[in-house]
Amino acid sequence: MIEIKNATKGQNKEIARLIMMAMTDECCQYFCGDGYSLDDFYRMMCYLVEHEDSQYSYKNTLVAMDGQLVVGVSVSYDGSRLHELRCAFIEAAKTYIGKDHTGMDDETQAGELYLDSLAVLPAYRRQGIAQRLLIATRERARQLHLPRVGLLVDKGNPDGEALYTKVGFVHLDDNLWGGHPMKHLIINAGMTNTCAKDA
């Protein structure tokens, strides 16, 4: 029985792995400075998940649990707090992956709960867990009184885009993030989608 819960600080290592899965190894390596590896990036993510002032904080994370095992995550935060929360990433990147990301493009803005990362372990895919995490994320937006959930999906990821559109996300505009062309998708936080609820 899979349960969707608020994450805890002690789950930082499992959450970090799943965030990196969502980002892809290629994207994680893109953020690293010369001579730094995915292991360095992982150590940075463990640190960021553990802290409350980070966009990747456990405080911003919903987990899908199979008993004591974290099998999926949804990491989201208020878009109006992007610059405030990103400070932790910028400082950690200098220390852990040897790169200054001060000039990063914005991937979100005020007025939306930004879904930064969504991932499910391979063995647990195609069981509706990602959809349940998306529905729980939309509920979180309602609780925070934010009008919509927004996300970026890689234009080279049609399967990911199909998942989001099945739940009710629609294309708003285009963006660039992590060196990849992306689509900015949104869903109204107040929408009711019976298809998604039944999935």
* Domain hosting residue 44, numbered range: 2-198
Dihedral over Cα of 104, 107, 110, 116: its sign: negative
The conformation of residue 72, written as its DSSP 8-state character, comes to E
Q: What are the tens digits of pLDDT across the range 30-78?
A: 899 899 999 999 999 999 999 999 999 999 999 999 999 999 999 999 9
pLDDT for the residue 191: 45
**What is the number of structural domains in the chain?**
1
State pLDDT tens for residues 159-173. 889 999 999 999 998
CA 76, CA 59: separation in Å to the nearest integer? 9
Q: Give the integer Cα–Cα distance in Å for 170 and 10.
A: 35
Instruction: Report pTM.
Output: 0.89
Is residue 89 within 8 Å of 54, Cβ to Cβ? Answer: yes
- Report the CATH number at residue 52: 3.40.630.30
